[in-house]
Amino acid sequence: MEEERSTVPPDILTEVDGNGPSKQPSRRSRSLPTEESGGHSQNTKPQGSTDSVTGLDEYPMTYPRRGHAVIFNNYWFAEHSLRDGTDTDVVNLQRTLGMLGFKVTVHKDLTAPEMEVKMKELARDDHSNADCFFAVFLSHGAEGGIFGKIGFSRYDALTGDFHRGDICKTLVGKPKIFIIQACRGNESEEAVAVSPPPPDDGYGEIETDGPTVAAGSDILYAFASGSGSAAFRSPEHGSWFIQTLCQYMCDYADSSSMDFQRILTKVSQQVSTEFACNNTTSGHHNRKQAPTVETTFTKLLYLRPKAKTRKPKYFQ
């Protein structure tokens, strides 16, 4: 399900990545910084170094290629509404990921089995000279998976092979990022007042037998909404989540302090506070959306451009 509103009037028609139209106020577009205008501070740290504050290592981004970015863009469905606005998300993602050095491929209106076959092929590709792998799913969804133009794919069927080192050999130890713009249910987040934080009472320490690494390490899932909740989208501006993600990935591309997980926190803050549904005829009026992240990253990820490239001047 997808609907949208930002904090700026007037009302325009928008939709939900699930079941139909809604209304929202339009958002104010923001220009991206360019080389001439400055923007955020330029990075001066060598890639693959250790963060001086956290002591965490950075994923080395020194392979010849940044890697493959694959976008699955589902607009037409046999049994669901059209996803107007999704092509705007694709344009913004192509600009952003291309600027960051990815080779971008777009697959449109695949069936569920076709998406699963393509992902299995991608897991078996040779990524030995690539920094990482990046996949984006733009579709209708439900708890546990997304819809193809025909059929339904569970996430484990789409990404399971990327968790297996015996299959996805050339991405072992490298970051694998999966971005999902799709509903995870029909609920939506209630708008509530923010309470002040409680006093810091400290935390107890837990003894362990030493560090361990999960078999499925170095994987990150970023969902547009929480479990069981709807994700909102505008036919004019695209989805709340993708437009904000692209904005901040460009804003902080050269940052020496904003790693990818911090960027996702910034995206979550923006989406959950600055947007709310304005559809008075649906069950989502004045409701919110809270992006969520699930990760087994073991290092910090900085997606700094591999070469000096011009940032996009605006998003649609």
Q: CA-to-CA distance for 144 and 234, rounded, in angstroms?
A: 23
The DSSP secondary-structure symbol of 181 reads E
Contact 237, 243 (CB under 8 A): yes
C-beta atoms surrounding 149 within 10 Å: 20
- Residue burial 10-34, b: 16+ Cβ < 10 Å; e: rest: eebebbbbbbeebbbbbbeeeebee
- The helix/strand/coil state of 104 is strand
Q: CA-to-CA distance for 295 and 262, rounded, in angstroms?
A: 13
Q: 246, 244, 295: which is closest to 272 by C-alpha?
A: 244
Residues taking part in catalysis: 140, 183
Q: What is the DSSP string of 238-276?
A: EEHHHHHHHHHHHHTTT-SS--HHHHHHHHHHHHHHHB-
